[in-house]
């Protein structure tokens, strides 16, 4: 439908940052996951020979990052 007023908010507009959107929820969960990873105290002595062991053992805690 044509709108006379260009400033009228369109309820059907595609807003990537709409807090109700699935994309926004996924983005926030990934952001939280990154924050958790960055705040972890990781003793790299345990993973020196094989860093992938860390990711395998933390897949449940960091599902998105472990896939990267």
pLDDT 10s digits, 12-59: 555 555 666 777 776 666 678 899 999 999 888 888 888 899 999 999
CA dist 38 and 29 (Å) reads: 14
Domain assignments of the chain as residue spans, ordered by start: 22-67
Compute how many other C-beta atoms are within 10 angstroms of the C-beta atom of residue 42: 10
pLDDT of residue 7: 59
């Amino acid at each position: 439908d044509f709108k006379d007023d260009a400033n009228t908010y369109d309820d059907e507009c595609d807003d990537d940052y709409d807090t109700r959107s699935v994309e926004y929820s996924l983005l926030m969960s990934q952001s939280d996951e990154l924050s958790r990873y960055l705040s972890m105290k990781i003793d790299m002595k345990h993973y020196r020979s094989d860093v992938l062991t860390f990711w395998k053992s933390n897949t449940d805690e960091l599902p998105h990052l472990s896939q990267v």
